[in-house]
Amino acid sequence: MSGLTEAELRALAGERSFERGLDYVDAVSRVEVGDGWIRASVRGTERYEVELFQDGRKSPAGTCDCPYGQEGNFCKHLVALGLTVIAQEVDLPRRRESARTRARGLDAWLTDLSREELLTLVREEMAEDRQLRRRLELKAASARGDLAGVRSRIRELLDIGPFAQYGYVEYADARAYADQAGQAVSAIKALTGSGRASDAMELARETIGLLAGVVESIDDSDGRLSQIGADLADAHHDACCAAGPDPEELAHWLVAHALDDAADLTDIDPLDYGDLLGERGMAALRRYAAEAWQANRTGWAEKHLMQRLAKAGRDIDTVIAVHAADLAPNGRTHLLIARELDTAGRTAEALEWAERGIREAEDLAAADTALIDHLTDRYTRTGRLADAVTLRRDHFAARHTLLAYQQLRAVARAADSWSAEREKALALLRADAERTGAHGGRALVDILLDDEDVDAAWQAAGEYGAHDDQWLTLADQSRPTRPADALAVYLRLAAALTRETGNRSYEQLVGLLLSIRDCHRRLGTPDDFTMYVTDLRAAQKRKRNLMRLMDEQGL
């Protein structure tokens, strides 16, 4: 750690974490100095253990068990330790040598103890430290080959009772529980290392089930149990590699596990066991998966497993069969099938499935828009523009939305048929407005505005109604050519805002006043505007922020 600088810490942590780390320097305690490493505790939301190390690297690295640090980041707590190291750099050699001296002294003392004295010491420590006692009990059971004892200790380690209040392990206690669960994983790995891989495999499976049964009762905000689950998966895989289980039995367990809630905890991929399963085991894996899917064709886990195995074996027909057995009424599943077939180069079949999705959709208004887009694109790329226009026309007729209109317009223009299609679309919208009133009229106004047909939009707004935002857009776009009509809109909207308070309303009102002034200028009636503003100021004089904004704009 010699030569560590603030610039290095800033580069490692980033500006934000470095600045926050400045506030934690006083929270650093229990600093321990070793060869190439420095450890300490830092008090944050809770007490975190941090370590800086160099290990031959040009720049230091670090670990911290805070949530941000566990994601691999150089956190504010590491910054605080780094700043402490810099401040105490002159004293580091002395502290390192002191640590070495203490370690040598402790080792020498332990070496000089007799067997009985060592036993007495360990018994005393176990009496004071329950966690130490449990760890040693687990080691003892494992060393004796006492599978029942190891199983019993693991069950104790995974029991949430000592940590849970009202049946739930809160965030503050989750780390301690995860530490115990980690000890169980270590015990399983130790069994594999000591030549008892079959026992380790059996216990790994039991432990996965036990932990999966309580994980929903634990606040795992920091993801510690997720890591335990991944470690358990590794322990099981290692045990299987060493034990060489029967391929069919392993395949049966992998399928059962994949369909169980415990799969979310470990994320075990059956295909990772391919070398252990061999041809016989892989055949059994597919057979068991198929049996499970046949029994529950709509189950997400069953479908996912079948598709995973089928894709791995490049069995596109099975992938399609799984999708086809549970077709969504909006055509989404048809699209998935079409994409799979396109990827496999079976374009004709892909098109058939996409078109089938449109035909079988219960309601084209609710059809998956991605399917509509996919099929339109397919038609366009293959020169079937008339079919693309028909699809977009039917979709717009079902939905009457601005987006559907824009999509129809784009493809109809490409087919050089927009003029006729536009008339049909607008006729539908007008009929809808006649039937539904303001709701349909607003859609018509938006579409006419998008077409930049302001005069038609103004007429539609007058006939069927429009909301204030639409009227404002109409007034803004019509002001140069229809200043009197625009003025009437601005005055109405301004009158409503004069009854409101708040800076946002004041800003909107001032914007309208500027537009009103422009209308009077175009109409040649500036004196009318002066009179209007004078009356407005008199009525609104108590609103100081409004008066200030008006002054800033020269109103």
How does pLDDT run across 303-362, given as a tens digit for each residue? 999 999 999 999 999 999 999 999 999 999 999 999 999 999 999 999 999 999 999 988
Helices 347-360 and 369-381 pack at an angle, to 10 degrees, of 140
| Strands of the 28-33 sheet, one edge to the other | 28-33, 37-43, 47-53, 61-64
**Listed ranges 106-110, 117-121, 232-236; the one with the highest mean pLDDT:** 232-236
Give the pTM. 0.69
CB atoms under 10 Å from CB of 460, counted, come to 28
Query: Terminal CA-to-CA distance of the chain, rounded, Å?
Result: 67
Residue 41 backbone dihedrals phi, psi, to 5 degrees:
-110, 145
pLDDT of amino acid 3:
72
> Residue 539's pLDDT band (boundaries 50, 70, 90)?
very high
Say what the pLDDT of residue 369 is.
94
Domain boundaries, the chain: 6-112, 383-466, 474-552
Per-residue pLDDT, 483 = 95
pLDDT mean across residues, the chain: 90
Q: What is the pLDDT of residue 134?
A: 76
In whole angstroms, give the CA distance from residue 299 to residue 153: 36
